[in-house]
Structure 1
């Protein structure tokens, strides 16, 4: 994207909006229960769908899919094609068979030797696995990780998410980023060995 001048930025953003408006499908769709996502019902007449379910089935319709992460391919009459992930979630979850207990965790205070001075989702996954195996915990409750409203007004907080549409970069975790595995500069700057981004980055973050 050309950002050399305000006019260049405006031109680039206009072109991007035009590109997004012309696409058949967004990269990811979400459906609830047995309904069909609105983006699929709004496709041009004559569009053919092919759905590959998480269970390995192939269908010609996105209705009445089981919960899971599926893949949908759309072929429009004008020759445009699109492929998207289709996440189908149940409208309700069954109650657990009995009483359970869990841990309340503020993600930003969950520190490990491999984080950047604040907890990330990799640390949260490790804690959840350990709590279930060693303590018999049934759940982990965390502080809000996404904005409560899609736009302003929002309560500014250093511990809250900054945006509703984008993930907070530091909670994603450097270990889960593809660039942390492929970038030589990232590996060199953050050390090497089994800890990866452990001690050098930890000392800088602290």
Structure 2
């Protein structure tokens, strides 16, 4: 199964507490990091793939070392395809590649500098960190992160970040920090179309 997430911002202490940008109601980054890992591993099993759409951790300001990021990521279930965000950097990707914990003898981590595309239920998922303006499209969604607790007012743009306001439209109550399933992405797209039509 495929899952989708963005903007985990491991170690980012400035996001802690109530704020308009990315409210994270934790008393420490250690508590936040543990919550992200627990939410991920509660949904993702060893055979799943998670597309992480950028901003793994707040680097380099808040992170002691690349090894500290690796230690968190190595605890996460499944394989992870990383799309580079504005807070990710090449030396971190190189470190993760050279210290890949492996998955059944294959790489656990893969890397995309700008984005990647998959197809799900006759719909293209164009996955990027930054939201794209696609123009008129059919059966195409742009899954993105970057804007945290904000929403692009275009139905085809789905914010899959952990702080995304669209998550409130899900019929299932999932823990904060959970990666989204493809079915949940389709549900959000339908709810967003309805919301914008009635606005």
What TM-score range do you get, normalising by the shorter chain? under 0.3
Using the size of structure 2 for normalisation, the TM-score is: 0.24
Q: Which has the larger radius of gyration?
A: 1
Using the size of structure 1 for normalisation, the TM-score is: 0.24
